[in-house]
Chains A and B, each alone.
Chain A
Amino acid sequence: MNLSLFAFSIFSTIAVVGSLLVVLRRNPVGSAFALVLVFFSFAGIYAVMGAHLIAALQILVYTGAIMVLFVFVIMLLNQDVPIHDLEENSALFKGVVGLAVLGLVFILIKTVLRARDLVPTGELSDEKIEAMGGNVRVISESLFSDHAFHFELTSFLILGAIVATVALAKRKSALGGNS
């Protein structure tokens, strides 16, 4: 067992336990902090796999931006109290859903395990990426040449998100102040 496998097993254990905590915690603040744990361990897994740019962006975007937004909304809505929505569902419903999801995950894992004997079709092996100047350089060169159009399209998406969020936030005046 080498170092990367050791680090991966620790990170993946934290990720699975953390995501179970996200689902099962009563308090949304507890769920949010478990989610931070999951995001950090995912960043660790990306780093172990050699996707350094993704690892840095995972921490910046998810832990830095999205989680701040979540915690801010929890604070804004006074949701930092235990919520008993999990008990409202009947045990039969939860059992059926749990079994269905378990079956789905089992099928997914069984399908995915066939990836073990896939033959690589591309030419960017780890050694090649290393020789071309590292993961970050290869991703950037591809992003700003072959995929520049898609990169520009994301700016429209973000613009649309800004407009939608402002429209939602200014709802009161837009509807004549009925809420």
Chain B
Amino acid sequence: MELQPWMVLIVSMIVFGIGLLGVMIRKNLLIMLMCIELMLNGVNLSFVAFSKIHHLIEGDLTVLFVMTVAAAESAVGLGLVIALFRTLRTADSDQIQMLRD
């Protein structure tokens, strides 16, 4: 039995789902950012699998661009977490409620 691209697609979907679950049930901002990275990685894997299925190279190229966006996103996101921590002394997303009251 050979390695088929659809097996890779199943793994990518499972990892994406776990990342989504983490973003929704965790409240710590750092772990939420890590779960976003998990989701991005799952999508990257499906891009590579689809470019293998379709015999195209554009999927691999898209992964390069997604990696650039992910690096920029995590740099800015972690900067925001640090700025929030300076103001609120916490990294809990439930404590961010300045606009609520």
Contact of A4 among B3, B22, B64 (CB under 8 A): B3
Residues on the A chain within 8 Å of B73, using CB: 161
The interface residues of chain A lying within 8 Å CB-to-CB of B71 are 61, 65-66, 158, 161
A2 within 8 A of B: yes
Give chain B's interface residue range (CB within 8 Å of chain A): 35 or more
Complex contact A19–B15 (CB within 8 A): yes
Q: Is the interface of B mostly helix, strand, loop or mixed?
A: helix
Q: How far is the CA of A165 from the CA of B79 in the complex (A)?
A: 6
Instruction: Out of A1, A76, A120, A139, name the residue touching B57 (CB < 8 Å).
Output: A139
Q: Which residues of A contact B52 (CB under 8 A)?
A: 49-51, 126
Chain A proximity mask over B12-52: 1 for CB below 8 Å, otherwise 0: 01111111111011111011011101100100111011101
CA distance A5 to B2 in the complex (A): 6
Taking a contact as CB atoms under 8 Å apart, the answer to whether A69 and B28 are in contact is: no
A165–B71 Cα distance when bound, in Å, is 12
- Complex A-B: 29 CB contacts under 8 Å: A2-B2, A5-B3, A8-B3, A28-B31, A39-B41, A42-B41, A42-B44, A49-B8, A51-B48, A54-B44, A54-B60, A61-B67, A73-B78, A77-B81, A77-B82, A86-B25, A97-B24, A108-B13, A113-B9, A115-B50, A124-B56, A142-B57, A158-B71, A160-B72, A161-B71, A161-B72, A164-B79, A168-B80, A179-B87
6 tightest A-B contacts by CB?
A105-B17, A161-B72, A122-B56, A23-B22, A85-B27, A168-B79
